């Protein structure tokens, strides 16, 4: 079996301050490679992260296109053309291209051109898109395939070693360049630090000179007596400040000098590291170049050996062909001699062969008849199975119809339930009307009770008035008696005193009668007020009863509406369920019919295959008989 061949175009990354792949939230396509094995080729598209992509197929030429949005080709992969191309020329794939498109946003488009008709499959493996292309026809076998595959694998190893050497050289050069840049930066930093130290030293020296000059001036002024005390103090303070500033500058200069020394040492270390890295890189490059040269030399030697082996194989094949031709000619001559020497034996043998061929033909015909009977029985069994399937489908259809009838019966029951609900609603409405009539009767009773109370109150008032009239008449009679007593008093003093006493008693009785009349009137008024309150309470109770009756009527109406809505909902749901069941039954019937048609088609296909096999066997038998006859005749 040929060894799979892998071709890879990879991105070599260098630590030269490049921004990371996901810095702008774009995916970076870093490598496009392929591996070939017999009739299949796998294309690997590797990105910096798991890719999102769209795949489709185009014609003229036939190619598989993968679009990766929000992505870009790496600079090393694309170069300056914003595109790359591979020409595998395998049995399944002829060309691979990858290009960057920036029209409607960043997009990378990978096209895999098929070398011949075949199928493809696109999957993801980690950060890779894997396009597997398999040719429809198998790849042809080549002579010496194992040797050539081994040589090709070794050549690929050599190419891979060369690529690894190039990568190592690129990494070494990048490391050396980085070290040189770091050394140059360190050197510049050391020079700048030294310059700052020198500047601070100069400033410190200048400040020291100014301080010394100020001190000398102050001392001279003091000696000469030319300055007063304030000037001397000011001069002293200036001198002290100048000395402090000079000391500070000297300290800073010392620190700067130390920093410059450290920077120079760091620059020296960086320079030595750069030189070491350069030497190591040169050694790695030389070793990689030697390994690559050795691998290429070995590959060239093996290629030459393979060429020589192929030439020797072709020469041996030519010699074998020549010897085969000679053997064929010798065999033909021997056969001719044998034919000339044994003609009579051949005739007898032909007769025996014809008889044996006839017997074989009869046996083959018998076997064909047996096979045909077996196939007929199998076809009959298949037909019986198809019939059983059709009967089962018919049974399923009957079951579906029965379920539809059951659904209709349930719908009828639902309609009956709806009628019962409607009757219940009618009964509720009748009860509401009865409640309304009861409320009306209650109001009528309240009105009649009010009338009775009014009549009773009027009767009581009339009775009280009658009693008052009687009391007044009694008082009038008492007054007449008093007058008679007065008359008698004038006639006699003794009788007068008695009459006066009688008059006082009569007045007392009159006051008592008047008080009794007032009490009766008050009781009547109290009874009238109680009757009014009772009538108001009765009227309020009747009003409350009427409100309760109306509330019950509203509740009954709402209940009727709710029951009606539930009935309509159940009726609609039952209708939809029944319709769905009928549709399902229709679909099941159609499926059963389709299965019956498929079974019938399968029986027809089996019968056609049987007839085709029978015809092919008959033609094969006839061809064998004809060949046997030709052999016998020869």
Angle between the N-to-C axes of helices 493-633 and 343-491, in degrees from 0 to 180, rounded to the nearest 10: 180
Residue written as tokens 């040189």?
Answer: 180
Q: Taking the CA atoms of 268, 270, 276 and 282 in sequence, report the sign of the dihedral they define.
A: negative
- Give pLDDT tens digits for 210-233: 777 877 777 777 677 655 667 667
Buried b (16+ CB within 10 A) or exposed e, 32-50: bbbbbbbbbbbbbbbbbee
Answer for the pair 94, 88: CB distance below 8 angstroms, yes or no.
yes
Average pLDDT score over residue span 268-272: 79
Q: What percent of the chain has pLDDT over 70?
A: 60
Answer for the pair 117, 61: CB distance below 8 angstroms, yes or no.
no
- How many Å apart are CA 163 and CA 6, to the nearest integer? 13
Q: Which pLDDT does position 147 carry in this prediction? A: 53
Average pLDDT score over residue span 552-556: 74
Evaluate if residue 371 carries a pLDDT over 80.
no
- Give pLDDT tens digits for 486-501: 666 577 566 657 656 7
Quote the Cα angle for 565-567-572, to 5°.
95
- Give pLDDT tens digits for 38-87: 789 999 999 999 999 999 999 999 999 999 999 999 887 776 667 889 99
Residue written as tokens 């992260």?
Answer: 49
pLDDT band at 547 (very low <50, low <70, confident <90, very high): confident
Of 110, 631, 124, nearest in space to 360 by CA: 631
Q: Is 197 exposed, middle or buried (0-12, 13-18, 19+ CB in 10 A)?
A: buried
Question: What does the DSSP assignment read for 206-239?
Answer: HHHHHHHHHHHHHHHHHHHT-S-HHHHHHHHHHH
Q: Which pLDDT does position 442 carry in this prediction? A: 59
Percentages helix, strand, coil for the chain (3-state, rounded to 5) are 75, 10, 10
pLDDT band at 263 (very low <50, low <70, confident <90, very high): confident
Q: Which pLDDT does position 475 carry in this prediction? A: 57
Q: Which pLDDT does position 1 carry in this prediction? A: 45
The mean pLDDT value of the chain amounts to 73
pLDDT band at 2 (very low <50, low <70, confident <90, very high): very low
Residue written as tokens 């870093």?
Answer: 30
Q: Taking the CA atoms of 363, 365, 369 and 372 in sequence, report the sign of the dihedral they define.
A: positive
- Give pLDDT tens digits for 459-479: 765 775 776 577 567 657 756
Q: Which pLDDT does position 604 carry in this prediction? A: 83
Q: Which pLDDT does position 331 carry in this prediction? A: 60
- Give pLDDT tens digits for 231-261: 667 777 777 887 788 788 778 878 877 877 8
Of 53, 77, 75, 74, nearest in space to 65 by CA: 53
Classified as helix, coil or strand, 112 is strand
Angle between the N-to-C axes of helices 229-341 and 145-224, in degrees from 0 to 180, rounded to the nearest 10: 170
């Amino acid at each position: 079996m040929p060894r799979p061949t892998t071709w890879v175009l990879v991105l070599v990354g260098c630590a030269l301050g490049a921004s990371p792949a996901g810095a702008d939230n774009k995916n970076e396509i870093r490598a496009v490679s392929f591996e070939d094995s017999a009739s299949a080729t796998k294309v690997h598209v590797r990105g910096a992260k798991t890719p999102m992509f769209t795949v489709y197929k185009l014609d003229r030429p036939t190619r598989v296109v993968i679009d990766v949005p929000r992505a870009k080709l790496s600079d090393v992969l694309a170069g300056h053309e914003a595109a790359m191309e591979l020409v595998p020329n395998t049995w399944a794939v002829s060309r691979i291209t990858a290009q960057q498109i920036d029209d409607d946003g960043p997009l990378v488009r990978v096209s895999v051109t098929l070398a011949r008709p075949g199928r493809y499959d696109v999957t993801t493996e980690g950060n890779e898109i894997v396009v597997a292309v398999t040719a429809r026809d198998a790849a042809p076998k080549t002579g010496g395939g194992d040797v050539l595959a081994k040589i090709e694998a070794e050549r690929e190893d050599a190419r891979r070693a060369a690529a690894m050497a190039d990568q190592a050289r690129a990494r070494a050069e990048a490391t050396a360049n980085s070290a040189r840049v770091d050394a140059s930066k360190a050197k510049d930093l050391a020079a700048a630090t030294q310059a700052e130290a020198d500047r601070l030293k100069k400033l410190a020296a200048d400040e020291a000179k100014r301080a010394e000059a100020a001190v000398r001036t102050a001392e001279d002024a003091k000696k000469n007596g030319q300055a007063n005390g304030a000037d001397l103090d000011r001069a002293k303070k200036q001198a002290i400040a100048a000395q402090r500033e000079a000391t500070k500058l000297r300290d800073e200069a010392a620190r700067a000098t130390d920093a410059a020394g450290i920077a120079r040492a760091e620059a020296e270390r960086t320079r030595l590291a750069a030189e070491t890295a350069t030497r190591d890189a040169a050694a790695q490059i030389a070793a990689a170049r030697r390994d690559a040269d050795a691998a290429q030399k070995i590959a060239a030697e093996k290629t030459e050996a393979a060429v020589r082996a192929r030439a020797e194989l072709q020469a041996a094949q030519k010699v074998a062909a020549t010897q085969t031709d000679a053997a064929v000619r010798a065999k033909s001559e021997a056969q001719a001699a044998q034919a000339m020497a044994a003609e009579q034996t051949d005739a007898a043998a032909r007769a025996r062969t014809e008889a044996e061929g006839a017997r074989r033909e009869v046996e083959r015909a018998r076997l064909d008849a047996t096979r045909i009977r077996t196939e007929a029985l199998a076809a009959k069994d298949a037909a019986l199975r198809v019939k059983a399937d059709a009967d089962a489908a018919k049974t399923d259809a009957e079951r579906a119809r029965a379920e539809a009838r059951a659904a209709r019966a349930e719908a009828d029951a639902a309609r009956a339930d709806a009628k019962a609900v409607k009757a219940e609603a009618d009964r509720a409405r009748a009860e509401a009307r009865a409640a309304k009539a009861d409320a009306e009767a209650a109001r009528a009773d309240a009105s009649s009770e009010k009338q009775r109370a009014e009549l009773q109150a009027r009767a009581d008032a009339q009775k009280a008035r009658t009693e008052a009239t009687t009391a007044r008449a009694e008082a009038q009679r008492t007054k007449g008696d008093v007058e008679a007593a007065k008359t008698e008093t004038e006639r006699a003093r003794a009788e007068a005193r008695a009459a006066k006493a009688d008059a006082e008693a009569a007045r007392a009785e009159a006051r008592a009668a008047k008080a009794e009349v007032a009490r009766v009137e008050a009781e009547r008024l109290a009874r009238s007020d109680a009757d009014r309150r009772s009538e108001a309470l009765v009227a309020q109770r009747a009003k409350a009863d009427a409100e309760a009756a109306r509330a019950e009527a509203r509740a009954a109406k709402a209940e009727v509406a709710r029951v009606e809505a539930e009935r309509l909902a159940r009726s609609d749901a039952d209708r939809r369920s029944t319709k769905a069941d009928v549709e399902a039954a229709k679909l099941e019937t159609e499926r059963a019919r389709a299965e019956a048609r498929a079974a019938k088609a399968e029986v027809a296909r089996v019968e056609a295959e049987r007839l085709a096999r029978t015809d092919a066997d008959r033609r094969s038998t006839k061809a064998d008989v004809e060949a046997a006859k030709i052999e016998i005749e020869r």
